[in-house]
């Protein structure tokens, strides 16, 4: 190794050769002023948050302990799907849904962007572990970044620092994750509060299991343990090793008889995963505990059941719409402090505010750092503004959330945001039919990704932006997964839609805590206790089959939310056909068979 005169470079707290070599290589390329190995200590948190306050990135909140307000560059507010690349050797391995670039070409382009890109900044080396540290094979990664915002956010979202590094030994496998905001500083140049670059790349190299990110400091673009590792790269590892990496919350449902069920549920970004994960049931005697709100890794246990672990250690939740009515447990979690808020509004007494939190104060500082009053034309908070808060603070956290064994899943829910066509809940006929439901899942786009909001797109398994390989191969992997266990041990698959609307554009279903009624019906189906109607699209409850006692909704709305409308479904078929055609030759024949069977049933 060359002796580079960069302070901190040679005081690495590890003897892991591959890691040391990579860190040297990156330092040589990016030429930071110094190198710091993140240890995850309280002292480090205090030092970095102070640095962020001094830089104008963070404003300490007077009303919440150890919590901070941050406003990003207005051009750096969400994931950038059109700048996200799967750089497999063969373009066919990226498939029809991903952007592809040849890995050598991408590396050449990005190497030039990285050259000198950390000048004037500190290069942080963050060892981290996705999922429990005590796992038989801990899932390790190292993020190199020049952003203090990323270091403190990674401390909330992952198990990182010394405790993660302790798992590396001399030669453990890890995923190298390179990140730079792409904003070098010249001698004496004043930094900006949110450094970023207009040029952005979020690149994944599935064969070598590497992640290279450039130009963005925001969420899923920059906290590389999250979508990049735990979904895009992990989905590839899961394909090769026979498990599933999914965009799913994990919740524990406890019945009045104290029976415990675990449910995993996939919804696109900003469609209520966090609210469902922390739901407070409105039906007497039922209880929910939380294990995760965004990602589930599911592997078969020795008993043949599918067990889920949440790779993350924090919640990166959508702020607007979250309040004491919609998600009291998220509110309680953030009240405890230790939270970073990004792109929400700041109150004059040093607290945060966002749309959906009741009456707005007379004056706020908006996410754009402008004066804001209730008369302002624009919302005070960006629709994709976020709170980043430790899971351990959640008052209804399930005690087994950190168990390396995971929890056995009884039911999988797929859901989207659709104002028509999709009934409140449909039970699949079997695993393949459930896979078909997931593969054809559709949703109206949200603010979680840059681009137009409210457009219906297919979002298979809510994984469209996160499948790290060919989507048709991913469907085949789901079908194959169903063959690896006894049918009666597999989770039952359901398709839900909380967002169906009536003729006055009103929501037909009250949602939030009332969704417990749907969970209850699903569990009773699994127990063989609840009835359902067989329809062309699957098993749908009638109004008599779900518990509606005390529910504040009109009978007409409830009937409409459960309706299987043949005309709407007939209109859906060509859209599914178009989607399947896009998948090409590799689409599993069993999914084509499911589509044919659905068409037959609809026309019968
Ligand atoms: O990708 S993020 O982590 O920024 C959030 C999301 O889209 O779910
Ligand atoms: Mn998500």
* Cα→Cα distances 370→343, 357, 364, 365, 373, Å: 12, 19, 8, 5, 10
C-alpha 109 to ligand 1 mean position (Å): 26
Task: Retrieve residue 110's tokens.
Answer: 């990005």
- The pLDDT tens digits of the residues spanning 438-471 come to 999 999 998 888 888 888 899 999 999 999 999 9
pLDDT in tens, 119-151: 999 999 999 999 999 999 999 999 999 999 999
Residue 40 lies inside a defined structural domain of this protein: yes
444 shares a domain with 297: yes
Take residue 581 and report the two structure tokens written for it. 């055609």
Q: Which ligand is nearest to the CA of 318?
A: 1
pLDDT of 270 reads: 84
Token match 């990674």: residue?
154
Any domain includes 537? yes
**Domain assignment of residue 71, yes or no:** no
Q: What is the CATH number of the domain that holds 146?
A: 3.40.449.10
Query: Quick check: CB of 292 below 6 Å from ligand 1?
Result: no
Instruction: Mark whether 364 and 431 lie in a shared domain.
Output: no
- Ligand 1 nearest atom to the CA of residue 218, by list position: 4
The verdict on 234 and 248 lying in the same domain is no
**pLDDT band at 3; cut points 50, 70, 90:** low
CB 389 within 8 A of CB 65: no
- 142 strand-pairing partners: 127, 176
From residue 94, give the alpha-carbon distance in Å to each of 88, 288, 386.
6, 38, 30
- Regarding whether 273 and 124 lie in a shared domain, the answer is no
Kind of pairing between the strands at 244-246 and 201-205: unpaired
Check whether 261 has a pLDDT greater than 70. yes
Mean pLDDT of 98-125: 98
Is residue 457 in a domain? yes
- Expressed in angstroms and rounded, the spacing between residue 446 Cα and the centre of ligand 1 is 11
Report the Cα–Cα distance between both ends of the chain, in Å, rounded.
Answer: 72
Query: Is the per-residue pLDDT at 23 higher than 80?
Result: yes
Strands 407-415 and 306-309, sheet pairing: antiparallel
- Name the strand (E) or helix (H) holding 241: helix 234-241
271 is catalytic: yes
Classify burial at 546, counting beta carbons within 10 Å of its beta carbon; exposed 0-12, middle 13-18, buried 19 or more: buried
- pTM score > 0.90 for this model? yes
Domain end point (choices 192, 215, 241): 241
- pLDDT interval class at 303 (50, 70, 90): very high
- pLDDT of the residue at 4: 72
Q: Is the CB of 106 under 6 A from ligand 1?
A: no
* 272 and 382 together in one domain: no
What sign does the dihedral 164-170-174-180 (CA atoms) show? positive
Take residue 582 and report the two structure tokens written for it.
């896009």
Q: In three state form, how does the secondary structure of 144-170 look?
A: EECCHHHHHHHHHHCEECHHHHCCCCC
Residue 382 corresponds to which tokens in the numbers above? 């960006």
Residue 216 is assigned to a structural domain of this protein = yes
Nearest CA to ligand 1 atom 2: 220
Binding residues for substrate: 79, 218-220, 269, 384-386
Q: Is the CB of 448 under 6 A from ligand 1?
A: yes
Clarify whether residues 156 and 41 are in a common domain.
Answer: yes
pLDDT of residue 124: 98
Residue range 380-427, pLDDT digits in tens:
999 999 999 999 999 999 999 999 999 999 999 999 999 999 999 999
Contact 80, 367 (CB under 8 A): no
Angle between helices 148-157 and 42-54 (to 10 degrees): 140
Domain-embedded: residue 277: yes
Taking the CA of 386 as reference, the closest ligand is: 1
Domain that holds residue 336: 315-393
Other CB atoms within 10 Å distance of the CB of residue 199? 12
Q: What angle do CA 532, 537, 540 make, to 5 degrees?
A: 20
Q: Which helix (H) or strand (E) holds 593?
A: helix 589-603
Query: What is the Rg, in whole angstroms, of the alpha carbon atoms belonging to the chain?
Result: 24
Check whether residue 369 and residue 236 sit in a common domain. Answer: no
* Å from CA of 595 to ligand 1 middle: 31
Structure tokens at 398: 């399930």
- Which residue is associated with the tokens 């040093």? 350
Mean pLDDT of the chain: 97
Q: Can you tell me the distance from the alpha carbon of 361 to that of 477, in angstroms, rounded to the nearest whole number?
A: 51
Count of domains for the chain:
3
118 CA distance to ligand 1 middle (Å):
25
End of a domain among 207, 241, 275? 241
Instruction: Examine the predicted complex and report whether its ipTM is higher than 0.85.
Output: yes
Establish if 11 belongs to a structural domain.
Answer: yes
> And the tokens for 140?
């390790």
Distance CA(460)–CA(457), nearest Å, equals 9
Evaluated on CA atoms 445, 447, 451, 452, the torsion sign reads: positive
State if residue 232 touches ligand 1 by the CB under 6 angstroms criterion.
no
Task: List binding-site positions for GTP.
Answer: 270-275, 386, 417, 512-515
pLDDT at 47 over 60: yes
Q: Which of 213, 217, 269, 293 to mutate to test the pocket of ligand 1 (most atoms within 8 A of CB)?
A: 269
Which residue among 77, 79, 314 is best mutated to probe the pocket of ligand 1, counting the most ligand atoms within 8 A of its Cβ? Answer: 79
Clarify whether residues 423 and 559 are in a common domain.
yes
Average pLDDT over residues 233-249: 98
- Separation of 21 CA from ligand 1 center, angstroms? 31
| Nearest atom (ligand 1) to Cα of 78 | 4
Taking 60 as the threshold, does the pLDDT of residue 2 lie above it? no
Q: Which atom of ligand 1 is nearest to the CA of 223?
A: 3
Establish if 64 belongs to a structural domain: no
403 and 532 both lie in a single domain:
yes
**Contact of 145 with 212, CB cutoff 8 Å:** no
> 117, 129, 228, 271: which one is catalytic?
271
Query: Which CATH number is 351's domain given?
Result: 2.170.8.10
Structure token digits, residue 143: 């993020």
Can you state the angle between helices 431-439 and 471-483, rounded to 10 degrees? 160
For residues 248 and 236, membership in a common domain is answered with no
- pLDDT tens by residue, 171-225: 999 999 999 999 999 999 999 999 999 999 999 999 999 999 999 999 999 999 9
- Same structural domain, 480 and 340: no
Looking at the structure, tell me whether residues 513 and 557 fall in a common domain: yes
Give yes or no for residue 79 CB within 6 A of ligand 1.
Answer: yes
42-45: Cβ within 8 A, 24+ apart = 44/151, 44/155, 44/161, 45/152, 45/155
3-state secondary structure of 595: helix
Q: What's 29-76 look like in SS3?
A: HHCCCEEEECCCCHHHHHHHHHHHHHCCCEEECCCCCCCEEECCCCCC
Which of 393, 413, 441 finishes a domain?
393
In contact, 127 and 112? CB cutoff 8 Å: no
Closest CA to 417 of 373, 459, 450: 459
Question: β-strand 248-254 against 260-266: which pairing, if any?
Answer: antiparallel
Beta-strand pair 386-390/314-318: antiparallel
Using DSSP, how many helices (H) and how many strands (E) does the chain show?
Answer: 15, 31
Asked whether 226 lines ligand 1 (CB < 6 A), one says yes
């Amino acid at each position: 190794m060359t002796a580079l005169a960069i302070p901190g470079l040679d005081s690495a707290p590890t003897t892991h050769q591959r890691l040391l070599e990579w860190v040297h290589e990156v330092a040589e390329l990016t030429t930071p002023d110094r190198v710091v190995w993140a240890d995850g200590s309280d002292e480090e948190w205090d030092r970095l948050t102070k640095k962020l306050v001094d830089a104008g990135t963070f404003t300490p909140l007077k009303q919440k302990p150890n919590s901070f307000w941050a406003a990003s560059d207005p051009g750096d507010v969400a994931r950038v799907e059109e700048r996200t690349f799967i750089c497999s050797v063969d373009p066919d391995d990226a498939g029809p849904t991903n952007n592809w670039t040849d890995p050598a070409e991408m590396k050449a382009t990005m190497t030039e962007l990285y050259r000198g890109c950390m000048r004037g900044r500190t290069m942080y080396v963050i060892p981290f572990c996705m999922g429990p540290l005590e796992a038989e094979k801990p899932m390790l990664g190292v993020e190199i970044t020049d952003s203090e915002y990323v270091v403190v956010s990674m401390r909330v979202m992952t198990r990182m620092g010394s405790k993660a590094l302790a798992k590396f030994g001399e030669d453990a496998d890890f995923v190298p994750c390179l990140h730079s905001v792409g904003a070098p500083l010249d001698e004496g140049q004043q930094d900006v509060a949110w450094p970023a670059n207009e040029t952005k790349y979020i690149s994944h190299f599935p064969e070598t299991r590497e992640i290279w990110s450039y130009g963005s400091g925001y969420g899923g673009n920059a906290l590389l343990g999250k979508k990049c590792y735990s979904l895009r790269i992990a989905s590839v590892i899961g394909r090769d090793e026979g498990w599933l990496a999914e965009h799913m919350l994990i919740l524990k449902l406890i019945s009045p008889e104290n029976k415990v069920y675990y449910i995993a549920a996939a919804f696109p970004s900003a469609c209520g995963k966090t609210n469902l994960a922390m739901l407070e049931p409105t039906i007497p005697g039922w209880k929910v505990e939380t294990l995760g709100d965004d990602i589930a890794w599911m592997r078969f246990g020795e008993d043949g059941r599918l067990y889920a672990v949440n790779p993350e250690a924090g919640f990166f939740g959508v702020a607007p719409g979250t309040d004491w009515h919609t998600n009291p447990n998220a509110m309680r979690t953030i009240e405890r402090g230790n939270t970073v808020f990004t792109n929400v509004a700041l109150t004059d007494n040093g607290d945060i505010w966002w749309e959906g939190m009741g009456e707005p104060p007379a004056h706020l500082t908006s996410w754009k750092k402008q004066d804001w009053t209730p008369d302002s034309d624009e919302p005070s908070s960006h629709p994709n503004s976020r709170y980043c808060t430790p899971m351990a603070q959640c008052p209804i956290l399930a005690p087994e959330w950190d168990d390396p064994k995971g929890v056995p899943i009884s039911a999988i829910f797929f859901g989207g945001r659709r104002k028509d066509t999709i009934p409140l809940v449909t039970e699949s006929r079997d695993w393949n039919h459930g896979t078909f439901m997931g593969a054809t899942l559709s949703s109206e786009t949200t603010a979680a990704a840059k681009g137009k909001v409210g457009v219906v797109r297919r979002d298979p398994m809510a994984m469209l932006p996160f499948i790290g390989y060919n989507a048709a191969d991913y469907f085949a992997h789901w079908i194959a997964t169903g063959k690896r266990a006894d049918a009666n041990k597999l989770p039952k698959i359901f398709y839900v839609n909380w967002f169906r609307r009536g003729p006055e554009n009103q929501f037909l279903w009250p949602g939030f805590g009332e969704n417990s009624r749907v969970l209850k019906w699903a569990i009773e189906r699994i127990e063989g206790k609840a009835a359902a109607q067989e329809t062309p699209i699957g098993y749908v409850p009638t109004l008599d089959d779900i518990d509606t006692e005390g529910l504040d909704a009109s009978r007409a709305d409830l009937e409409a939310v459960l309706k299987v409308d043949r005309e709407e479904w007939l209109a859906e078929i060509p859209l599914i056909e178009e989607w399947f055609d896009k998948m090409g030759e590799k689409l599993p024949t069993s999914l084509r068979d499911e589509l044919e069977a659905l068409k037959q049933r609809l026309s019968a």
